[in-house]
Structure 1
Amino acid sequence: MSVLVVIPARYASTRYPGKPLVALTGASGVASTLIERSWRAAMSVQGVDRVVVATDDDRIAQTAQAFGAEVVMTAPECANGTERCAEAHAVLGGGYDVVVNLQGDAPLTPSWFVEALIEAMQASQDADIATPVLRCDGATLNGFLVDRKAGRVGGTTAVFDGNRKALYFSKEVIPYIGTSFADDAAETPVFHHVGVYAYRPAALAAYPGWTVGPLEQLEGLEQLRFMESGGAVLCVEVDARGRQFWELNNPEDVPRIEKMMAEMGLE
């Protein structure tokens, strides 16, 4: 099964303009851009045939090419990463069995998260899209709650049925829990959605033509378009294996991610 990984990156982020070019300092004190760290994460995944950065911005393209990445230029009109992945796959001539969207704001994504998606697509031939979910520990859940009270989006959460079919994704913390958890709690009932997707080419190609529904508009979550169009999203539970994980959504996330890299000894 041939696998293409696309890293969509745009400069004009609403919440954090220029985010792909933000420098993050690792454990050794060396700073690298967010897009380079995301590319390194993609390159570490086993079972991948090709990795490309898809962007509409010359600054991002030049930076990516400078550290050795293959770049595919896409239209500024792409509304989200999934649309950009669809265009990139088409520009490359298609032909891949699975296309992975490794979003360019998640440099701490472990390689085994993506490998689990690839394995799930191999095992579930009827799955059109798969995405990882990670059970929150107490510290992660409490961080989400603190961010929401402060008006920030700390992460996306997911709920799914007994067959791991997604029921909903939200930037709010779902499901509602009527109790509190200590930071050292190993498990909570809340699942953190990790912003990585594996698509079948047919579903990916159809996506840009589907109507943007009210839930996607309200939440700003691209995966909801699949659900609002009647598609099924397979949630694949992954194990962090002690690895800390966080996405860069706001400027306040930079020191948080740098602290995590320092604690984990990540360069």
Structure 2
Amino acid sequence: MNPMSICTSSSSGSSSSSHSTTKAWIVHGIVVGAAVAAAIGARAYLGRSTKFRSRVVGIIPARFASSRFQGKPLVPILGKPMIQRTWERAKLAASLDRVAPLGVVVATDDEKIAECCRGFGADVIMTSESCRNGTERCNEALQKLDKKYDIVVNIQGDEPLIEPEIIDGVVKALQAAPDAVFSTAVTSLKPEDAFDTNRVKCVVDNCGYAIYFCRGLIPHNKSGKVNPQFPYLLHLGIQSYDSEFLKIYPELQPTPLQLEEDLEQLKVLENGYKMKVIKVDHEAHGVDTPEDVEKIESFMRERNLS
């Protein structure tokens, strides 16, 4: 653009530009107002709620289409579909609803995944293709369940070796932190994964609440190198939500940090909500790319895990 065009434009053009700018600010104000209203609504609920959050359901969101690994939930891991292995591990968690038929449910928009899951005995909720992430898919599935729940655990379908104790741990963490709407887990970051953008890093405060999540290495020291003495944290995909907050989550507008990092949990932090974090020992990470399948199968063979 010619920088002089602004100065030499006609008065009618200036009027038109001013009108467009005014309209843009009005639209911006409406969007921001809606986001603020949603945030206030969530805080109002949490401010009133004092009851113990006891009713818990686990949801495994699964989609076939993926930019990094299409069809990932159905990829075989030592002879079983990955999502089946995740479901079998999740069913062992003591904190999840024990009343049939629910406890752990698969939420998907793909009939191939649904058919596979029904084949090994899982309950399936069909969700729309418009869900932008696993959290929104969990919310849609929650609305379709007949029973009411206080906590929803989002169990990533690409964690075939998730320990049931970790599921129980994030549930207990949220139950013990009434000021939090979200809880998740971290483990020690391996030095070789420090600069892998598929391995999400996390930093927490002294009270165990999340400060930030990043695809890059955080904290990042002046040398730009990994400090072997620093306890870097790797974020695990599992997370649990207050069910009332989960209903409001889709109404919150996407936030700059969320969009830049492509990490859905950042929208929670950017809107001022608290997220409780627990540290666990978890050596086997999830499957993000096709190359990870061989790694996790080797891990399982070495430890005689069938």
Q: Are the structure 2 counterparts of residues 206 and 94 from structure 1 closer, same or farther at C-alpha, using a change threshold of 3 Å?
A: farther
Partner Cα separation in structure 1 for residue 271 and residue 165 of structure 2: 29
- Give the whole-Å Cα distance in 2 for the aligned partners of 1:260 and 1:231: 37
| 1:262 matched residue in structure 2 | 301
1:76 is aligned to 2:101:
no
SS at structure 2 position matched to 1:252: helix
Amino acid at match of 2:244: A
> For residue 193 of structure 2, what is the aligned residue in structure 1?
143
Between the aligned partners of 1:181 and 1:172, the Cα distance in structure 2 is: 14
Q: Give 1:170's aligned residue.
A: 214
CA gap of 1:66–1:225, structure 2 versus 1, over 3 A, is same
Written as runs of structure 1 = structure 2, the 5 A alignment for 1:234-249 is 234-240=276-282, 244-249=283-288
Note the C-alpha offset of 1:141.
2.3
**Could you list the per-position Cα deviations for residues 166-197 of structure 1 after superposition, in whole angstroms to 9, with x for gaps in the alignment?**
11101112112545567xxxx74200111111
Identity of aligned residues (%): 38
C-alpha contact 2:138 2:154 (8 A) present in aligned 1: yes
Q: Which structure features the higher share of helix residues?
A: 2
SS in 2 for 1:133: strand
> Is 1:113 matched with 2:166?
yes
- Partner Cα distance (1:9, 1:129) in 2: 20
2:4 alignment counterpart? none
**Whose RCO is larger (CA < 8 A, sep 6+)?**
1
Conserved 8 A contact 1:135-1:188: no
Q: Is the 8 A contact 2:193 2:199 kept in 1?
A: no
RMSD of aligned alpha carbons: 1.6
- Structure 2 residues not aligned, in runs of 5+: 1-53, 98-102
| In structure 2, distance between residues paired with 1:262 and 1:188 | 31
Q: Is 2:56–2:152's contact at 8 Å kept on the other side of the alignment?
A: yes
How far apart are the structure 2 equivalents of 1:230 and 1:20?
A: 33
- What code does the residue aligned with 2:236 have? V
Q: Deviations over 1:60-80 (max 9, x none)?
A: 000000000000001100000
Long gaps (5+) in structure 1:
26-30
Mapped to 2, the partners of 1:110 and 1:189 lie a distance apart of 22
* TM-score after normalising by structure 1: 0.88
1:34 aligns with 2:70: no
CA shift for structure 1 position 94? 5.3
- The structure number with the bigger radius of gyration is 2
Q: 1:144–1:154: 8 Å Cα contact kept in structure 2? A: no
The AA in structure 2 aligned to 1:173 is L
Q: Residue 179 of structure 2 aligns to a residue in which SS?
A: coil
> 2:84 corresponds to which letter in structure 1?
E
Q: Report how far residue 112 of structure 1 moved.
A: 1.1
Structure 1 consecutive aligned stretches of length 4 or more whose deviation exceeds 6 Å: none
Once the two structures are TM-superposed, the CA of residue 218 in structure 1 deviates from its matched residue by 1.7
SS state at 2:245 partner: helix
TM-score by length of 2: 0.77
- What's the offset of the Cα at 1:93? 3.7
The Cα of 1:143 is off from its aligned counterpart by: 3.2
Q: Does 1:210 align with 2:252?
A: yes
Structural mapping, 1:65-104, within 5 Å: 65-93=118-146, 95-104=148-157
